Chain A
Amino acid sequence: MYIYDEFDQRVIDERVQQYRDQTQRYLAGEISDEQFLPLRLQNGLYVQRLAPMLRIAIPYGTLSGRQLRKLAAISRDYDKGYGHFSTRQNLQLNWPKLEEVPDILAELASVQMHAIQTSGNCIRNVTTDQFAGVAADEIEDPRPYCEIIRQWSTFHPEFAFLPRKFKIAVCASEADRAAVHVHDIGLELVRNTQQEIGFRVLVGGGLGRTPIIASEINPFLEQQHLLTYLEAILRVYNQNGRRDNKYKARIKILVKAMGVDDFREKVEQEWLKIKDGPSTLETSHIEHAKSFFKEPNYKEPQSDAEIDAFAAENMAFSRWLKTNVVASKQAGYCAVNLSLKTTGYAPGDITDVQMDGVAELADKYSFGELRISHQQNVVLPYIRRSDLITLWKTVTDLGLATPNINYLTDMICCPGGDFCALANAKSIPIAEAIQRKFDNIDYVYDLGELDLNISGCMNACGHHHIGNIGILGVDKKGQEFYQVSLGGNQGKDASIGKILGPSFAQAEIPDVINTLLNTYVELRAHDNETFLETYRRVGISPFKEKVYAKAS
């Protein structure tokens, strides 16, 4: 992973100093609330329903054991002993004190971490596939490019007061595990006819109030032009994005209003002014970035006989092996998902004890590295298969071995009304109610792979639009209700879910989900047809009928 040199370290140390000074001036009354807002947001600090919230950056979801240990310590010393992984591969602390945030940032800086630009109207954390570097369907590791973009976007002086937030995601594999089609800019690594690798550039995707799938503006951008082209897009957005209405200020609105072709034309015009200019990348620069993401010192593969034998006699291990362990492109190795979706715990939450435990596992078994997925789980990317049994035992002790990855109970769920000032409704109790209702794991497996995503409001931090089943908290006359949508999907054939019908009270939701799933089981062409496939074949009507028939 990327290791800071003196230059990088000085940059974040100076940032801590800058923010410390800003905090002092704010507390002394020299900066107004309004003026302090972007300053603290661009250091990750929200003021939330119950307490401030600090969003710590985990660049493209890669973390070292050492860094995770520091996060555990910070959660103990400055918070309530836990953190929450967001859908953009960041960690959120729910209880920091505003005046202590400079100290927290200083602690983070000591392990090459920060909270830079994790909020505010600027370029946010670049996200990517949690299996980068090990995915079998990968063209090449996307993370060197993510790091290049990270540096370019960090303290970019021209783009810190954009009309609205700006999110970039990168995908380098056949399957898109980074939701690039619903980002402001999505970059897909692709090969041209000469087998050269470049970027397919997508713009104007997003969720929230107006969910839209991104449009392609460039089918193949050569690598050296990456930064100048991004700069051209941002420049067009900065100057032309709407600033009169917060809910119409994202680039997706601009692209839609101008039309893709006109937007592309405008970007190309801007780009011509800077193309081949100072920010053009040379091979040496890309190679330098790549040098930080080399393969670890893999050992020779060993026989799976022991694993197979243990799986045959231990049901829990066998299930976990099937659902949470993913093949790596490296023979004898695999990637292991650690599920943060356990009944009774908020999805995506992790305690300090678990963080320390995972850090130790990463150091011992995964060459010191771990990843965070946008689905709010942790991944140990470089696990030798012959270590799986001992690993599983420790993971089980840590409470991170729920064998549910990509199944119903592996829900994406935002913090919601329990924590977030923006929320219309609570989301965590919904997730728990569903987990409790569907506590028969065999039934959950029988339902097949299923994305159920829950958001507490239209801001869609829980990605409900792209859930096969989406649940959205709404405020109906001061009461919490929930709207259900069907047929959303992330990935390359992304789709936005369709609203089922009128919303439901909290208590009704588990039964509604039950009815939907029963309907699916009845209608599926065969056992292996997924919920999404069935939905796309039969449409929404059968589901709608069954769900609302009960009510009438």
Chain B
Amino acid sequence: MPKLVKDGKVIDDNYRIVESDNALTKLDQETLYLLPVDLWLENLATNTLKQACGVWLDSDQPPALLGTSLQQAEVIAINFPAFTDGRSFSYARELRDTLKFSGEIRAIGNYIRDQMYYLKRCGVNSFSFNETSAAEKALNSLNDFSDNYQASADQTIPAFKRRA
């Protein structure tokens, strides 16, 4: 059963990721989907699926592609095709800081546990895992540091303003 670390706890993941070469007509009306951008936009226009789906961005898809529709998403997931591809860190920040997205930002794909602390700082508040034990172990990494130097999505007052 796929799991999520969300807001510091391990819970079940009820979403299913839809790959990019797909069609809305192939999807059912019950499953909670994370739709690729093109299907997300298409669904908003056609209202094909009635359930509240989310959307996922690939690492070469900045949030601007969602336009104003992003506020309608309960979940926006950012994908890591490879953990070395760090563009999604900027996307998460853009979603939180500039676009003021207040829903769930989820990390999916091949990110590694040791990136979770930075992802959290960039505004990611949930992380997908294949199974429970990996998710539970990873919880520790969310607390690698008790404070930070620079401002980010999670802490808008940089340390230099909070000291002397």
Q: Which residues of B contact A61 (CB under 8 A)?
A: none
Say yes or no: is B6 at the interface (Cβ < 8 Å to chain A).
Answer: no
Bound complex: CA A163 to CA B157 (Å): 28
Whether A161 contacts B86 in the complex (CB less than 8 A), given A11-B147, A278-B151, comes out as yes
The number of residues on chain B lying at the interface, defined by a beta carbon within 8 Å of a beta carbon of chain A, is: 38
Bound complex: CA A15 to CA B149 (Å): 13
Whether A158 contacts B83 in the complex (CB less than 8 A), given A10-B147, A11-B145, comes out as no
Say yes or no: is B89 at the interface (Cβ < 8 Å to chain A).
Answer: yes
Say yes or no: is B46 at the interface (Cβ < 8 Å to chain A).
Answer: no
- B residues 114-162 in Cβ contact with A at 8 Å: 114-115, 117-122, 140, 144-152, 156-161
Please determine whether B149 and A161 come into contact, CB atoms closer than 8 angstroms: no
Bound complex: CA A156 to CA B149 (Å): 8
Q: Which residues of B contact A21 (CB under 8 A)?
A: 140
Q: Determine, out of A146-154, A411-419, A455-463, A511-519, the stretch whose residues face the partner at the interface.
A: A146-154
Interface 0/1 of A421-442, CB less than 8 Å to B: 0000000000000000000000
Q: Which residues of A contact B150 (CB under 8 A)?
A: 151-157, 227, 279
Say yes or no: is A7 at the interface (Cβ < 8 Å to chain B).
Answer: yes
Q: Which residues of A contact B164 (CB under 8 A)?
A: 288
A246 to chain B, nearest CB (A): 11
Please determine whether B117 and A157 come into contact, CB atoms closer than 8 angstroms: yes
Interface 0/1 of A271-287, CB less than 8 Å to B: 00110011101000100
In-complex Cβ contact of A39 among B90, B114, B119, B140 (8 A): B114
How many residue pairs between the two chains, A and B, have CB atoms under 8 Å in the bound complex? Answer: 109
Q: Which residues of A contact B25 (CB under 8 A)?
A: none
Please determine whether B122 and A157 come into contact, CB atoms closer than 8 angstroms: yes
Q: Which residues of B contact A239 (CB under 8 A)?
A: 62, 87, 90
A160 to chain B, nearest CB (A): 6
Please determine whether A157 and B118 come into contact, CB atoms closer than 8 angstroms: yes
Whether A121 contacts B86 in the complex (CB less than 8 A), given A160-B118, A279-B151, A279-B158, comes out as yes
Question: For residue B88, which residue of chain A has the nearest CB?
Answer: A161
In-complex Cβ contact of A14 among B115, B144, B149 (8 A): B144
Q: Which residues of A contact B118 (CB under 8 A)?
A: 155, 157-158, 160
Bound complex: CA A152 to CA B152 (Å): 11
Q: Which residues of A contact B140 (CB under 8 A)?
A: 21
A19 to chain B, nearest CB (A): 10
Interface 0/1 of B58-102, CB less than 8 Å to A: 000010000000000000000000011111011001000110000
A323 to chain B, nearest CB (A): 41
Interface 0/1 of A359-403, CB less than 8 Å to B: 000000000000000000000000000000000000000000000
- A residues 252-291 in Cβ contact with B at 8 Å: 273-274, 277-279, 281, 285, 288-289
Q: Which residues of A contact B98 (CB under 8 A)?
A: 273
Say yes or no: is A5 at the interface (Cβ < 8 Å to chain B).
Answer: yes
Q: Which residues of B contact A211 (CB under 8 A)?
A: none
Say yes or no: is A171 at the interface (Cβ < 8 Å to chain B).
Answer: no
Say yes or no: is B17 at the interface (Cβ < 8 Å to chain A).
Answer: no
B80 to chain A, nearest CB (A): 9
Please determine whether B151 and A238 come into contact, CB atoms closer than 8 angstroms: no
In-complex Cβ contact of B158 among A153, A159, A278 (8 A): A278
Q: Which residues of A contact B159 (CB under 8 A)?
A: 7, 151
Question: For residue A17, which residue of chain B has the nearest CB?
Answer: B144
Say yes or no: is A476 at the interface (Cβ < 8 Å to chain B).
Answer: no
Say yes or no: is A302 at the interface (Cβ < 8 Å to chain B).
Answer: no
A228 to chain B, nearest CB (A): 10
Whether A35 contacts B160 in the complex (CB less than 8 A), given A155-B148, A158-B93, A279-B151, comes out as no
Q: Which residues of B contact A14 (CB under 8 A)?
A: 144-146
Please determine whether A161 and B89 come into contact, CB atoms closer than 8 angstroms: yes
Interface centre among A7, A39, A148, A162 (most CB of B within 10 A): A7
Bound complex: CA A160 to CA B83 (Å): 11
Q: What are the nearest 4 A-B pairs in CB distance? A: A161-B86, A157-B121, A157-B118, A278-B151
Using a CB–CB cutoff of 8 Å, the interface residues on chain A facing chain B are 5, 7, 10-11, 14-15, 18, 21-22, 31, 35, 38-39, 121, 148, 151-163, 227, 235, 238-239, 243, 273-274, 277-279, 281, 285, 288-289
Using a CB–CB cutoff of 8 Å, the interface residues on chain B facing chain A are 62, 83-87, 89-90, 93, 97-98, 112, 114-115, 117-122, 140, 144-152, 156-161, 163-164
A-B contact pairs, 11 of them (CB 8 A): A11-B149, A15-B145, A153-B150, A157-B120, A158-B118, A227-B150, A238-B89, A239-B87, A273-B97, A273-B98, A278-B158
Besides the known contacts A31-B112, A158-B89, 5 further A-B residue pairs in the complex with CB atoms under 8 A apart: A15-B145, A31-B114, A158-B86, A238-B86, A278-B158
